[in-house]
Structure 1
Amino acid sequence: FRKGPGVKSSAGHTSVKQYARRGQHSEKSSNCSISLDRMPSEILLKIFSYLDAVNLLCAGCASRRFYHLANDNFIWLRIYSTVFSPKRSNWKVNSVEETTVSVSGLSVEDKEAGYWKKEFIAKQITSVKTALAQVLQPVSPYTGLPVKTKEALRISGLGWAIVLREKSGKEYIMQHVDLSLNDTSVTVVWYGKNWPCLATLTTLDLCGVTPVFMDRHKPPAKNGPRWHSLIAKYDLSHLTESTMIGCDRLVQIFCLHPGLLVGLWKKEEELAFVMANLHFHHLVERSTLGSASVPYELPLHSPFLDDSPEYGLHGYQLHVDMHGGGVFYLCGTFRNLFTKKGCIEDGYVKLVVINFKNNREHLPLIGKVGLAWKTNIFDGFIKSCSIVDITLLDEHRKPFWCLSSPVCMRSAACPSDGPNFLGQTYYVDYMDTEGRVHAELVWIEETEEYFIVSLVLYLSVAKINHWFGQN
């Protein structure tokens, strides 16, 4: 009976001793610890000399002192010469001093701090641009677009982000969660649980995001520096009834031009998901060559000589895709499209693709048209909505008008003049500054499928005149 307390006392005494020893050890270790900020610059420079370009840039973001030390020309000259110097039989990495001496024409003393860092970044970006230009050179005769766009996206390490901005100026940056590559476009999706309150938001910026340093043979570092290229800016105050194109029992979706789809929860009227639809035409350039605040400017168009203006537009080719959530409802190419010079209505030239009165041109849509959506919790399907990709080529097989945008089918009160169909007629319309798209579809109850019975493009006269240099 007496041993009990004695054992407890002994055990308690032992535990106190152990605690005291640990305390002495921690006190001794705290006295021996050295802060990186207190290290001499010479030692820090020696440590930095073992870092690669990505980690060196990240180290420079830690503090003002680290930033200046990470700009050291000797270190960046070594990195520059290692990456861009001609191949040598001796693969041993030389010291900073040896490398400086061995590279002819390169100097350190007469250059300002950070000079070789800027030179390295500029040459790295140029090399990636050159590699992308070579990949994007072959063009498909069917779409007029680069054949290897998907490979270029992989090489560049390209991703996309949205920047949500509050009235106070606070920003929320969200990286894309999912994407799907289509024939002539890419669909990028954002969703999650931590959306900011919609009432506080004013604008949404869509940006391409690429690693500053990219090795085509290695995946990009997850935490490395990134370059943002503004693609489009959207005003969230336009999420009104006039821009709503569809809904289901959980969400309602809004279309903001160009090509943005915003889904809001019906109950809370808060953000559920964002979907961007980007056409492949100049996609890599627009996603990589702009800045965070200024979009990439397309190269100036060299007007084509119209050798037969009396015949109007001729020899045009259209590739059209209609899809939603990975399911394609229509995929077709229409050749030898033409229009007469005098066929102008309200500032638009009418280009008939599918003639309403010609039954042989009518095409069925595969499956029931709708747009699939998902978040990390729910998913759904919005009927009568889809994504339409338009790629119109001129007579020289150059992209004349390209777009990728959400659209919806609206019931027509009265069908157009022409043959009578045993089914409800629907309209699909799209419009921007360069033209309009009008399609008519008929629902055939017996076969339970849609038929597209009319497809007409209305091209802006101003766009045509600019294309042929007649402004």
Structure 2
Amino acid sequence: MPPEITEKIISYLDAGSLFCLGLVNKHFHELAENNAMWYRFYTWQRAKTKTSSLMKDVTDEVDMDRIPEKPKGYWKRVFFEELASRNKSWKKKLKSINSYTGLPIRTAEVLRSSGVTWEMTVRDAQAENRIKHTHVYLSQASLTVGWSSGNWPTLNEPATLELHGVMFVPINCPIACRPGWRSLLSKVVVKKNGGTMYGSDGIITLLDIGNGVTVGVWQKQQEIAFVLATLHYHRLVERTLLGSSTTSVSPYDVTDMRAPFDDIDPDYGLHSYSMHLELHNTQKSIVSVSFSQLFCRKDQIADGYVPLQVISKANRSRQTPLCRKISLPWRTEALRGHVENCCMLTLTVLTEAQTPFWCVSAPVAMANSNITDVSYACNGESYFMEYKDTDGKMVMELEWTEEQKQFIMVDLILFLSISKVNRYFGRNY
């Protein structure tokens, strides 16, 4: 067929069909990279966002002599970028802040409406495999993504797991070949004797391998059964939509801004903290609670930490019951189960200006406590739960009430890293 006739036929295709045509072979790929066709799609798309007075200027018939000399595929990429950026309303939606969590109220709504999917890329010495998520749980301040199936490596073969947020271009094209952008959110390594075991139910073992990623391992075969990842909402939309596929190419900058300097308040950075804490699993919330007016005196700073007493046994008014037992459900293609005394922790510590200071989303486990203090309010056993990273640590004590058949948080202390406090507030404690 003469090239002129082929190009004439192709000119009647829509953008999605033209893109798919370019995947057939090298010949059609060359034809589908035609800048004039993609420039026409681009001008049509731009015309939708212009006022009526500017419509004619944008939709004038395309003249090849007026199109700047660009490499093949240039206007296709510009058109896709225009499509992806046409809905900028999510930035406005994120301006409304929850007074308890200090996070955008409509984060979950934005993630749903943007059509984001989550992929886990498995890289080992032999191959690369991309696995799409199977389920997502959206809590008040974080989301938990699960992969119940996939071609996972064995623990004897070290592999890298890369979690990406994927946003597809909204064109009429099958999902399997639809173009889009991938943003790297976390990167961890799974290997034998790697990670920290924090729970087991006799069938699978839960391994915390860092960055909020949990790997469920079959105990007998030592093979990966499923993967869970928990992500805090703090700047999650920006990290997902504005990041890059690799950390080396334009990753989204999540560096925290420093607080304005204050030379009047001698205890600047030691008071007026607030926090929101949620314990949840992959299906339901276990407890969600907020506290304000947390403080620390200078003489209480010790061992490199600023302690903030949130709940105390001496003050029963702040002691908080849990609405359900602590457990972590899991599922694969063939089996389902749950691990007792394990869940996800989502913690947000806010400064006096109600800006996020310390954000945590990670798996945690509850263990028996060695504390022997007598509690007249509770006649059950005592348990503790801990979390620690470079920015701080949390220590929680829970007691089981036999009458109500529920756990109660009776003691909770936050320890903020003094180096992070000094760096953020410009102090020298």
Query: Structure 1-normalised TM-score?
Result: 0.81
Q: What is the distance in 1 between the residues matched to 2:170 and 2:193? A: 38
User: Could you tell me which of 197, 201, 206 is aligned with 1:253?
Assistant: 206
Q: Structure 1 pair 204/353, CA: closer, same or farther in 2 (3 Å)?
A: same
- Alignment partner, residue 315 of structure 1: 272
- Alignment partner, residue 20 of structure 1: none
Q: Structure 1 pair 388/272, CA: closer, same or farther in 2 (3 Å)?
A: same
- Alignment partner, residue 82 of structure 1: 44
Tell me how far 1:191 sits from its aligned partner. 1.2
Q: Structure 1 pair 341/69, CA: closer, same or farther in 2 (3 Å)?
A: farther
- Alignment partner, residue 426 of structure 1: 383
Equivalent residues in 2 for 1:58-457, closer than 5 Å: 58-85=20-47, 86=50, 99-100=61-62, 107-108=66-67, 110-128=69-87, 130-168=88-126, 170-192=127-149, 194-211=151-168, 213-214=169-170, 221=175, 223-237=177-191, 240=194, 243-294=196-247, 295-298=251-254, 301-306=257-262, 307-310=264-267, 312-415=269-372, 422-457=379-414
Q: Structure 1 pair 174/401, CA: closer, same or farther in 2 (3 Å)?
A: same
Check whether the contact 1:439–1:454 (CA below 8 A) recurs between aligned residues.
yes
Q: Structure 1 pair 435/47, CA: closer, same or farther in 2 (3 Å)?
A: farther
Equivalent residues in 2 for 1:452-463, closer than 5 Å: 452-463=409-420
Check whether the contact 2:155–2:192 (CA below 8 A) recurs between aligned residues.
no
Q: Structure 1 pair 165/338, CA: closer, same or farther in 2 (3 Å)?
A: same
Runs of 4+ with >4 A deviation? 218-222, 415-421
Q: Which letter maps to 2:124?
A: E
Check whether the contact 1:184–1:279 (CA below 8 A) recurs between aligned residues.
yes
Tell me how far 1:255 sits from its aligned partner. 1.1
> What SS does structure 1 have at the residue aligned with 2:384?
strand
Q: What is the distance in 2 between the residues matched to 1:196 and 1:246? A: 21
Check whether the contact 1:388–1:406 (CA below 8 A) recurs between aligned residues.
yes
Q: Aligned residue pairs: how many?
A: 420
Q: What is the distance in 2 between the residues matched to 1:300 and 1:71? A: 42
Q: What is the distance in 2 between the residues matched to 1:257 and 1:231? A: 13
Q: What is the distance in 1 between the residues matched to 2:135 and 2:374? A: 44
Tell me how far 1:441 sits from its aligned partner. 1.0
More divergent stretch after superposition (287-296 vs 49-58)? 49-58
Check whether the contact 1:303–1:466 (CA below 8 A) recurs between aligned residues.
no
Tell me how far 1:63 sits from its aligned partner. 3.2
- The root-mean-square deviation of aligned C-alpha atoms, in Å, is 2.9
Q: Structure 1 pair 67/465, CA: closer, same or farther in 2 (3 Å)?
A: farther
Q: Which letter maps to 1:200?
A: E
Q: Which letter maps to 1:187?
A: T
Q: Structure 1 pair 455/72, CA: closer, same or farther in 2 (3 Å)?
A: same
Q: Which letter maps to 2:382?
A: T
Q: What is the distance in 2 between the residues matched to 1:157 and 1:56? A: 22
Check whether the contact 2:153–2:159 (CA below 8 A) recurs between aligned residues.
no
Q: Which runs of 5+ in 1 are unaligned?
A: 1-38
Q: Aligned residues: percent identity? A: 36
Q: What is the distance in 2 between the residues matched to 1:291 and 1:394? A: 30
Tell me how far 1:207 sits from its aligned partner. 0.8
Q: What is the distance in 1 between the residues matched to 2:383 and 2:33? A: 63
Q: Which letter maps to 1:341?
A: K
More divergent stretch after superposition (74-83 vs 437-446)? 437-446
Q: Structure 1 pair 60/388, CA: closer, same or farther in 2 (3 Å)?
A: same
Q: What is the distance in 2 between the residues matched to 1:46 and 1:340? A: 77
Q: What is the distance in 2 between the residues matched to 1:118 and 1:369? A: 48
Q: What is the distance in 2 between the residues matched to 1:219 and 1:371? A: 38
Tell me how far 1:350 sits from its aligned partner. 0.5
> What SS does structure 2 have at the residue aligned with 1:150?
helix
> What SS does structure 1 have at the residue aligned with 2:357?
strand
More divergent stretch after superposition (360-369 vs 245-254)? 360-369
> What SS does structure 2 have at the residue aligned with 1:132?
helix
Q: Structure 1 pair 238/346, CA: closer, same or farther in 2 (3 Å)?
A: farther
For 1:99-138, what per-residue CA distance to the aligned partner results, in whole angstroms no more than 9, with x for missing partners? 215x9xx93253343332233233334434x332122121
Q: What is the distance in 1 between the residues matched to 2:343 and 2:331? A: 15
Q: What is the distance in 1 between the residues matched to 2:257 and 2:174? A: 34
Tell which structure's C-alpha radius of gyration is larger: 1
Q: Which letter maps to 1:360?
A: S
Tell me how far 1:420 sits from its aligned partner. 9.2
Check whether the contact 1:314–1:339 (CA below 8 A) recurs between aligned residues.
yes
More divergent stretch after superposition (219-228 vs 153-162)? 219-228
More divergent stretch after superposition (306-315 vs 407-416)? 306-315
Q: Which runs of 5+ in 2 are unaligned?
A: none
Tell me how far 1:417 sits from its aligned partner. 9.8
Q: Structure 1 pair 220/127, CA: closer, same or farther in 2 (3 Å)?
A: farther
Tell me how far 1:451 sits from its aligned partner. 1.6
More divergent stretch after superposition (130-139 vs 397-406)? 130-139
Q: Structure 1 pair 344/40, CA: closer, same or farther in 2 (3 Å)?
A: farther
> What SS does structure 2 have at the residue aligned with 1:314?
coil
Q: Structure 1 pair 198/40, CA: closer, same or farther in 2 (3 Å)?
A: farther
Check whether the contact 1:311–1:341 (CA below 8 A) recurs between aligned residues.
no
Q: What is the distance in 2 between the residues matched to 1:258 and 1:238? A: 18
More divergent stretch after superposition (358-367 vs 387-396)? 358-367
Check whether the contact 1:312–1:339 (CA below 8 A) recurs between aligned residues.
no
> What SS does structure 1 have at the residue aligned with 2:98?
coil
Check whether the contact 1:157–1:220 (CA below 8 A) recurs between aligned residues.
no
Q: Which has the higher helix share?
A: 1
Tell me how far 1:273 sits from its aligned partner. 0.9
Check whether the contact 2:156–2:191 (CA below 8 A) recurs between aligned residues.
no
